[in-house]
Amino acid sequence: MLGSWVNDILADEPGTLADALRAALPDAQILTAPSGLYDEMLMAAAEADVVVLALGESHARNGEYNCVASIDLPAGQQELFDALIGLGKPLAVVVFTGRPLSLTRIVPQADALLLAWHPGSLGAEATADVLLGAVNPGGKLPVTFPRGEGQIPVHYNHNSTGRFNPRYLDMPVTPLFPFGFGLSYTSFAIDGLDVQPQVVQPGSKVRVSVTVTNTGGRDGEEVVQCYLQDCVSRLTRPVRELKGFARVALKASESQRVSFELGADELSYYGPGGQWVLESGEFKVWVGGDSNASLEGSFRVT
């Protein structure tokens, strides 16, 4: 739960995920097995109606001076997951980690996946609340999740290379999860993009607006994200950069108009000699729920 902050907590804190589930479900039988005894884990899972599997890294694999050459799950965890899948039980996976891990073989087979990171002293209770639906999660990834370490470095805001259709021979070129990605127990639609004005003078601002609709059956929160690309500049610029975001709370079926203002601070960059530069030319803008946002518009700075 605590990651590298494990030495900064009282001896009886935090509780375990099993303890939190027992407290939240007093009438349910929560079966557990000693960590590392995989046969006992499989026996307990075989008796269960639903399996919650906690995977990831201990505090000993995180923090300063704890680098790893592979971002695969620690030894034995993938094999345990594969064995549990063979039981045919509904399987929810909770990943406790301080870094992106390769979950390529987990995602297609797990019925649910919750990335808890190292959530802190009340992390067990918070994780149980999300698993049981008492809380509708609305978090977004602050990093890109690669499919494997061969993709590293991988980030959404890489510079444009001009190369057509880059690829790997043994995996997709896209990440497992993009920067800004995150799901909840409801769904959202983002449409109605409007960019005004289409031509802007230096020092003026562009307003980018969209309509966000909760299309699911539960109240929830979406983090709407606005990305920008400077299409022509003296220095090679990123293919897109996050320039604004807004967390919007919507009841089921409710819609709301969301706007972002892009001015000199958002449109400029550090140019030759470290000078803050705003150049004329075309800009592209995208708005969506993660860095793969496809709702696209454009404007020009004169």
Final residue in a domain of this structure, among 131, 147, 167: 131
Query: By the 8 A CB rule, do 173 and 214 touch?
Result: no
17 and 125 share one domain: yes
Q: Residue 169: pLDDT above 70?
A: yes
**Which CATH number goes with the domain that contains 72?**
3.40.50.1700
56 and 125 share one domain: yes
Residue 253: inside a domain, yes or no? yes
192 and 111 share one domain: no
Residue 161: inside a domain, yes or no? no
Q: 52 is written with which tokens?
A: 């919650």
Please name which of 92, 300, 278 lies closest in space to residue 203, comparing C-alpha atoms.
278
Residue 175: inside a domain, yes or no? no
Query: By the 8 A CB rule, do 182 and 140 touch?
Result: yes
Confidence band for 42, pLDDT divided at 50, 70 and 90 = very high
Domains contained in the chain, number: 2
116 and 229 share one domain: no
123 and 8 share one domain: yes
The DSSP code for 238 is B
Residue 148: inside a domain, yes or no? no
121 and 192 share one domain: no
47 and 126 share one domain: yes
Residue 154: inside a domain, yes or no? no
- pLDDT single digits (tens) 203-232: 899 999 999 999 999 999 999 999 999 999
For the chain, give the mean pLDDT.
94
Residue 63: inside a domain, yes or no? yes
Instruction: Give dist(CA 16, CA 269) in Å, integer.
Output: 47
**Which CATH number goes with the domain that contains 235?**
2.60.40.10
Residue with tokens 């995602």, as numbered in its chain: 107
Q: 167 is written with which tokens?
A: 């690829």
Final residue in a domain of this structure, among 102, 131, 160: 131
118 and 208 share one domain: no
* pTM across the whole model: 0.93
User: For residue 44, how many other CB atoms are within 10 A of its CB?
Assistant: 15
124 and 197 share one domain: no
**Residue 198: domain span:** 188-301
The pLDDT of 254-262, averaged and rounded, is: 98
3-state secondary structure of 220: strand
Residue 259: inside a domain, yes or no? yes
Final residue in a domain of this structure, among 83, 103, 131: 131
Residue 76: inside a domain, yes or no? yes
Query: What's residue 15's pLDDT?
Result: 86
What length does the chain have?
A: 302
Q: Residue 11: pLDDT above 70?
A: no
Type of residue at 40: E
Query: What's residue 165's pLDDT?
Result: 76
124 and 18 share one domain: yes
